[in-house]
Structure 1
Amino acid sequence: MTVIADERISSVLQTAEGVLTRRAGTSVQLDEPEDLGGTGRSSVIRARVLDNPVSLDRTVVVKAFDDQTAPSQVLREIASYRYATALPTASRPGPQLLASDFEERLLVLTDLGHGRSMVELLASTDADEVERGVSAWGQALGRMHAATLGGEEDFDTLMRVSGKTKGGSGRITVAGGGIGDAAAASVRAHDELLETIDVDAVEGSLALLERGLRLFDAGDFRDFRAFSPADVGPGNILINGDGVQFMDYEWGEFRDATLDVAYALATFPALLSADVVMERPRLELALVQAWRGEVKPLWPSINDRKLALRIFTARALWVWLSTYWMIQGDASGHDWALHTADARVVLARWADLADSGEAAGIDESFVDAADQVQEALRIYWFG
C-alpha cells in the first residue's frame, strides 16, 4: 500500500469527511489515504475510516473531480451511482454510493477491495481460466441489464434531482458529451475517412453504421434498453469475492444492451496472451451465451440470427469509432477502453469483425467490407 500525503489529497479527505458527517449526522474521520489513480480529471483515493460511528466499512473510496470537469459529467456519475445502488443487492453492477455532494464534485463509495483486474485475467496463459472470466463478465452484464430493463424513467428522475443546487436555486442538466456523440461524429465523417484511406464507397457500410447509432436512441430499439456504465471494457472491471464488478460510471446511461456486449467483444481480444489468442472465437461465444442466459427470460422473442445481427451492428460501430479516433489522432477518447493508439489493435479489430460476421452468417457484403477496410488501413499505416 502506498500512503500519500499532499495538499490536494488532504483537501479531498477533508471534504469527504464533511460530506460523510452530514450524511451520517455524526463526525466521521478519514486517514491513511492510498492513491488509486483516476482519469486525469479526477482523484480516486482509498481511505481508512477512523472511530467508525455509523457502521461504515473499515475503508471507503473517495472520487473527487477537478474544476475542469463539466458539471454535467459530475451529475451523470452521481445519478448513475444513486440508480445502481438502489438496485437489489445481487443486481448491483459495482460499488455502492455512500454519500455524494454535487457542488463539492465528490462521491464516497464502498471499497471493492483489491481483487483481480480483468486485464490481468485476460493475460493468463490458461484458456479455461480466461473462459471462466469472460463468462462471468457476460453474466454480470446480463444481470445488470435484466435488473434495469424498464428503469429509464427512474434514472431520468435521478438525473433531474441530482443536479439541484443547494437551496434549490438552480439545476444542472446534461447535454450529451458521451461516447454516443463521438460515435455520431465518426459516422458523419464516413465518406471522409474512406477517402483518407483510399477506399471507394463500400456498399452498405454507411447504412450499417447508421443502424448502429440508432441503438443509442429510445425509438426503434426501446425493448432492449437497459442501464450501462458506458465503458464496460476490461480496464474498468475488478473481480473480487462477489464476482465481476464494474467501476467508473462517469458516462452512465440507458441504451441498447447489445452495445455493451459488442463493446466487450471489441475490446478484450487485444489483451489476450499469445497462448490464448487463437481461442478468441470460443471466448466470444462464451461471453455472449453467458449474457443471453441472464436476459433470455426478458427478451425471449429475439432469435439467434436477429441477435447476432444486432451484436454485429453494434460491434461494427465500435470498430469504426476506434478507427476514426486513430486516424484523426484524437486523444479525447483516451479514457475509453475502445480508444487505442496502436494500429495493430485496430487492424485486429477489423479482422475479428469480419470473422464474427462470417461465423454468424451475416450478409456477405458486410464481411467483405470489413476485409476491404482492413487491407486499406494496413497499406495506409504500414505501406
Structure 2
Amino acid sequence: MTVDTSSTGDAGVGAGAEQLAVAAAVAAGESVLSRRFGSPITLVAPEDLAGSGPATVVRARVVSSSFALPRTLVIKHYPDQPAAGADPFAQEAVSYQLFTALSPDERMCPELLAHDGRDRVLVLEDLGRTPTLEDKLYARDSRAAERALLSWARSLGRLHANTAGREADFNALLRRLGGPAKSDSGGVDELCARVPSLIQERLGIPVPDEVRAQVTAALEQSRSAGFRAFSPVELSPDNNLVTGQGVRFLDFEYGCVRSALVDAAHLRLPFASWPDALALPAGMSEAMIAAWRAEVVGIWPAFADDEVLATHLTASELLRVWLITGEELGALNLSRHAAPVSREAAFVTWWRDLAKHAGYVRMTAVPEFAARVAAALAARLGPHADLAFYPAFR
C-alpha cells in the first residue's frame, strides 16, 4: 500500500503542536480557576489568539457555574521556564496584580482573575473583539485614528499617575512570586558608548564632547528617582485595545517600574521601537503630549511649566534616538534610495525632529549635530527619505 503524504508535513506538525499548546493552556486555566473557586470549572470552545511572545494566549468560554465569572476569559500560559534573567511570566503576573489592586477606573488593563506560579498561567478578563490601536492607524478614518491616539496618550498618563510611588509594592509582589528584580537598563551604558564610533564609521561625522555630555545627562535623568511609575515597556500599537472606556494596555511581559519619561519619549517618537513605526501629521504629537500631561500634572506639578516639560521630553527623545541608532544604524542599508515606509526613512525623520526640538530648548550642540546626522542620512538615501504617515492620515 502506498500512503499519500501530500497533505501532511511540517504544517500538520505545526498545527498539532499549536493544538497541544492550546489544550495545555485550557487545562492550566481550568486548574487554577477550580482551585481559586473551590469547585470544578470547565472551559470550552478555545480560540488561539496567537500571542507574539513566549505565552500561549487563548480565549475560552466558561461553562455555566455558580460563580460570577464572565462568559469568556483569556488565558495566558507560559509552559517553559525562563533560561536566565527576568521571567516574563513573573513580570506579567506581578504587573497585573499591581493593577488589579486598583479600582476599575484606575486599572488601564484587563482584570487579573486568577494566576498560579506552578502552572505558570494567568486568567484575565476578556475585553472582547475590540480593535487595536494598530487597526485604527491602518484604517482610513483619520478622525477615529486621532481619537484613538489621544485616548492612548491619556491612558498612558493615567497609568503613570496611578502607579507613581508604587515601586516598593511592585518589587514586593515580584519577590513573593520568586521573580528576579527587573531592570530596564541592562546593557544601556555599553550601547550608548558604541554610538559615537558607529556614527563616525557609517556617516563620517564625529560626535562632539558636548553631545556626549547631553546623552550622559539624559541617561542619568532616565535613572533618577523622580517621575518613576509602572511601564509596560512594549508600547507597540498592536498591544493596545481601543475600548469604549478608552485605550487599554496588554502584554506586560517586560513590565517594570522606571522613569515615566522613558515612555513619554514615544509621544515625540510614536512607537519608535515598533518595526512598523510611521509618522504622524503636524500637531498630533503636541496634542498627545497635552493629553498625557493633563493626567500626570497632579502627581508631578513640575510638568505644569512648559519649559520644564519640554526640556525633560527632549532629553528623553535624545536618549531614545541615540539608543535606536546604536541598535539599528549598523544594519541600515545606506547604499540605496529609501522608501517612505522604510526604517531608513524613519531615522532621517527622527534625527531631523530631534534637531528641531533640541533647538527649541537650547540644548547645547545637539541641534547642529542632529541636523548633520539627518542631512548625511538623507544624502545617502535620496529625495524620498521622509517617513510616510500612517495610512489613516494619508
Query: What band does the TM-score fall into relative to the shorter chain?
Result: 0.7 to 0.9
Match among 174, 177, 181 for residue 181 of structure 2: 174
2:325 matched residue in structure 1: 323
**Deviations along 1:102-123, whole A, 9 cap, x unmatched?**
2322211111112121112223
| 2:259 is aligned with 1:256 | yes
1:73 matched residue in structure 2: 88
Q: CA deviation at 1:90?
A: 0.8
Say if 1:152 and 1:254, in contact at 8 Å, map to a contact too: yes
**Deviations along 1:132-161, whole A, 9 cap, x unmatched?**
222211211111111112111111111111
1:372 matched residue in structure 2: 372
| 2:288 is aligned with 1:287 | yes
3-state secondary structure, aligned to 1:258: helix
Q: Which runs of 5+ in 2 are unaligned?
A: 1-14, 333-340, 384-394
Distance in 2, matches of 1:114 and 1:162, equals 31
**Deviations along 1:31-52, whole A, 9 cap, x unmatched?**
2121212224222111111123
3-state secondary structure, aligned to 2:57: strand
| 2:150 is aligned with 1:148 | no
Distance in 2, matches of 1:136 and 1:189, equals 37
Q: CA deviation at 1:207?
A: 2.1
Could you tell me the percent identity over the aligned residues? Answer: 32
**Deviations along 1:264-295, whole A, 9 cap, x unmatched?**
431348756xxxx5x63310011000111111
Distance in 2, matches of 1:313 and 1:235, equals 27
Do the aligned partners of residues 280 and 97 (structure 1) sit closer, same or farther apart at CA in structure 2, a change above 3 Å counting? same
Say if 1:49 and 1:60, in contact at 8 Å, map to a contact too: yes
Match among 126, 130, 137 for residue 111 of structure 1: 126
Say if 2:28 and 2:77, in contact at 8 Å, map to a contact too: no
| 2:239 is aligned with 1:233 | no
**Match runs of 1:1-383 below 5 Å:** 6-67=19-80, 69-70=82-83, 72-163=87-178, 172-174=179-181, 176=183, 178=184, 180-197=185-202, 198-217=204-223, 221-268=224-271, 280-302=281-303, 303-329=305-331, 342-358=343-359, 360-363=360-363, 365-378=365-378
Q: CA deviation at 1:203?
A: 4.3
TM-score, length basis structure 1: 0.83
Q: Which runs of 5+ in 1 are unaligned?
A: 164-171, 331-339
**Deviations along 1:276-315, whole A, 9 cap, x unmatched?**
x5x6331001100011111112222342112111111112
Distance in 1, matches of 2:37 and 2:282, equals 50
Highest Rg: 1 or 2? 2
3-state secondary structure, aligned to 2:39: coil
Instruction: Please give the root-mean-square deviation of Cα atoms over the aligned residues, in Å.
Output: 2.7
3-state secondary structure, aligned to 1:34: strand
**Deviations along 1:239-283, whole A, 9 cap, x unmatched?**
0122110111111111111211212431348756xxxx5x63310
3-state secondary structure, aligned to 1:281: coil
How many residue pairs were aligned?
353
Q: CA deviation at 1:352?
A: 2.7
Distance in 2, matches of 1:7 and 1:109, equals 21
Do the aligned partners of residues 357 and 52 (structure 1) sit closer, same or farther apart at CA in structure 2, a change above 3 Å counting? farther
Do the aligned partners of residues 103 and 225 (structure 1) sit closer, same or farther apart at CA in structure 2, a change above 3 Å counting? same
Deviates more, 1:16-25 or 1:206-215: 206-215
Letter of the structure 1 residue corresponding to residue 96 of structure 2: Y
3-state secondary structure, aligned to 2:329: helix
Say if 2:195 and 2:325, in contact at 8 Å, map to a contact too: no
